[in-house]
Amino acid sequence: MNPVLAYLLPRTGSWVSGMEVSKELGISRAAVWKHIHKLRALGCTIETSPRHGYRLTAGGDILAPETIDIRTKILGTCIVFSESVTSTNEVATKMARSAKDGTLVLSLIQTAGMGRLQRSWSSPPGGIWMSLILKPEIPPVLSPRIGMMAAVAVASALRRAGFHAKIKWPNDILIGDRKVCGILIELGAQMDRLEYAVVGIGINANVNDEALLEEWGATSLGKELGRTVDRSEIISCVLEELELRYLGLGAEFQEIHREWEAFSATLGQEVMVIGWSGNGDLAGKAESLDQDGALIVGTSQGLVRVLAGDCRHLRPLNRSGCRSTAARPGSEI
Ligand code: BT5
């Protein structure tokens, strides 16, 4: 953690002089000032006064291991924190074999954030960019459950915070019809044994760049709420909701499956699955989700089981068979 932030945090709301910080940390006053600049760029609200020095304001958007209230027994009890990494999934994957189950890799920004299928994930300051290293005792064939569990846990955590979060197949989280969170699961496995899963979670928490959000057709928690959200508390809740389900991943999966269906924005929709099984696109109605996380799509040819792909929600048909005009322009999500 940044040493100046570590010094200011327990003194939040009080003035401390530049001289005091410099003396206590054994660094020059110019170095203190550089740290202050950096912390402000990362979202901390720090006031300065020539007479009083520096004051960290309560309620600012500060994210550090020390600000996260760990209420879990396994997940997040070990945190690897950085101000900037290429990708938390990349860092987590490199250390996964030797890491403790539940290790959390967290960064304030990512310079090469990854989406699915080699796509890129923009990760400016203000977001929650994190990866969990999990070591569930399940056979590799059950690994699709991990993504379903993660989606249900994030949706539950956001619901606890007052957002009407829904899941778009396979595991995007939406508020309204806009994406607020993406999940990327990467696995390390042998034939019959899952060694680890890296669960990458990207939440546009306080990412408020309108142009970027518009470009992705996305939203952020801060935008939806009209004010800054407490990222540390959101992370604590995600860890709690994940741990609750992680322990029942093998035996109590029925409940996670039931929750996924209850939170789904996809089931019942007319959808277009892009690039499924390399056979082009598939249009139909999303009927259900099977135990392997596959989407069951009702098409003119009958039911089709789709294991992977990109899904677009089409505007529902109205009674006369035309696309509804109620949806906003751009008709697909
Ligand atoms: C995903 O991919 O939705 C998975 C994203 C996972 C990101 C997390 S952040 C922590 C961890 N470390 C990583 O490196 N990754 C994980 P996909 O469904 O392929 O969506 C990618 C597409 O979403 C891009 O092609 C853009 O169109 C769009 N996009 C990029 N950045 C976005 C953002 N911040 N919010 C919403 N959409 C975004």
pLDDT (tens digit per residue) in 162-219: 999 999 999 999 999 999 999 999 999 988 899 999 999 999 999 988 998 999 999 9
Distance in Å, CA 227 to ligand 1 centroid: 23
For the chain, which residues make up each domain, given as ranges? Answer: 3-56, 65-263, 266-333
Distance in Å, CA 306 to ligand 1 centroid: 21
Q: Which residues contact 221 (CB under 8 A, 6 or more apart)?
A: 158, 161, 163, 175, 180, 203, 204, 205, 206, 229, 234
pLDDT (tens digit per residue) in 117-162: 899 999 999 999 999 999 999 889 899 999 999 999 999 999 999 9
pLDDT band, very low/low/confident/very high, at 321 (cuts 50, 70, 90): very low
Q: Which residue in 113, 197, 201, 126 sits closest to 157, CA to CA? A: 201
Distance in Å, CA 169 to ligand 1 centroid: 14
With contact defined as beta carbons under 8 Å apart, do 2 and 83 qualify? yes
d(CA 327, CA 308): 26
Half-sphere exposure (CA, 13 Å, Cβ side) for 124? 12
Domain 65-263 superfamily per CATH: Bira Bifunctional Protein; Domain 2 (3.30.930.10)
Atom of ligand 1 lying closest to residue 110 CA: 14
- Mutate which of 107, 121, 333 for ligand 1 pocket (most atoms within 8 A of beta carbon): 121
DSSP class of 167? E
- Length of the chain equals 333
Among protein residues, the one with the nearest Cα to ligand 1's atom 20 is 115
Instruction: Specify the pLDDT at position 16.
Output: 95
Which secondary structure element, helix H or strand E, spans residue 313, and what is its range? strand 310-313
> Tell me: domain 266-333, CATH 2.30.30.100, correct?
yes
Instruction: Specify the pLDDT at position 249.
Output: 81
Distance in Å, CA 159 to ligand 1 centroid: 21
Task: Check pocket membership of 179 for ligand 1, CB cut-off 6 A.
Answer: yes
Average pLDDT, the chain: 90
Among protein residues, the one with the nearest Cα to ligand 1's atom 28 is 216
Task: Check pocket membership of 89 for ligand 1, CB cut-off 6 A.
Answer: yes
pLDDT (tens digit per residue) in 86-125: 999 999 999 999 999 999 999 999 999 999 989 999 999 9
| Alpha-carbon distance values, 273 to 145, 270, 305 (Å) | 20, 10, 11
d(CA 209, CA 7): 30
> Tell me: domain 3-56, CATH 3.90.550.10, correct?
no
What are the structure tokens assigned to 161, written together? 């915070």
Distance in Å, CA 221 to ligand 1 centroid: 16
pTM greater than 0.85 (yes/no)? yes
Q: Which residue in 179, 147, 185, 150 sits closest to 166, CA to CA? A: 179
In the sheet that holds 46-49, the strands lie side by side as 15-16, 53-56, 46-49
Atom of ligand 1 lying closest to residue 86 CA: 14
